[in-house]
Amino acid sequence: MPEQEMNQIPYEFYTQKRWENWLARAKESGFEIKESEDEPGKESAVFVNMVDDVILACLKVSARFEHGMLSAENSLNILVEIRNLVLDEVEPISEDIDLMIDSVQTSLMGALAAFECYVMGDYEEGINIEELIKAAIVAEETDDLEMALDYTAQCGAFVLKGENLPDEIMAELPYGIVAEWLDGIDSIAAAMVGSDSYKEFEEDDEDTTL
């Protein structure tokens, strides 16, 4: 495909309005953390959906990249724009909702780093995902969060290439920021085994109903 055509962006993959509408839904949910509940209430679903919606937008970018419809540079620029939107500081709503939005943004930080790593090819073929996760945990323990995020991003890049996260090590992750980043990677994996509609979409099919 000609370079000029690869650099044509058909529409905005994610918008400020879309993110703001999710924040409005979070506010309207009236979510409160209740220690007595064993299972999350329906009010918490909005936060899962927030993450999934951003990841779906990013998967549309990576799908176009994979099929030569977007260059690596242009794909990265789009992903950076999305990152700047969803990781921007959010005005306080309530203590519990603020905690959940912070968790959403932390998970998305891991997911977005993975997409960026993938389109730029910043990973080494043949590396074991389990070893990358272990390296990320060690890096977090030594306060090297930059390397921890780099290892996490590489994990996500391999997931985008079709590899699976190891169930056993994921179930035993110590609480910390790496675990939250990996939640974002896990959300990518879940989205990829769900609907593959992100691979087949029209130029004008952006959902503006949110």
Residues 188-198 have pLDDT tens digits of: 999 999 777 78
169, two tokens: 């090590």
Residues 26-35 have pLDDT tens digits of: 999 999 988 7
The full length of the chain comes to 210
List the Cα angle 60/189/179 in 5-degree steps: 120
SS (H, E, C) 183-194: HHHHHHHHHHHC
Mean per-residue pLDDT for 64-81?
95
SS (H, E, C) 56-95: HHHHHHHHHHHCCCCCHHHHHHHHHHHHHHHCCCCCCCCH
- CA atoms within 13 A of residue 186's CA, in its CB half-sphere: 16
Check: CB of residue 13 under 8 Å from CB of residue 61: yes
Check: CB of residue 125 under 8 Å from CB of residue 205: no
Check: CB of residue 22 under 8 Å from CB of residue 46: yes
pLDDT at residue 5 is higher than 50: no
Question: What is the Cα–Cα distance from 156 to 181, expressed in whole angstroms?
Answer: 10
Residues 33-70 have pLDDT tens digits of: 887 655 556 778 999 999 999 999 999 999 999 999 99
Query: Hey, what amino acid is at 204?
Result: D
Residues 138-173 have pLDDT tens digits of: 999 999 999 999 999 999 999 999 999 999 999 999
Question: What is the Cα–Cα distance from 113 to 147, expressed in whole angstroms?
Answer: 12
- CA atoms within 13 A of residue 46's CA, in its CB half-sphere: 19
Query: Hey, what amino acid is at 77?
Result: N
Model pLDDT, residue 36: 62
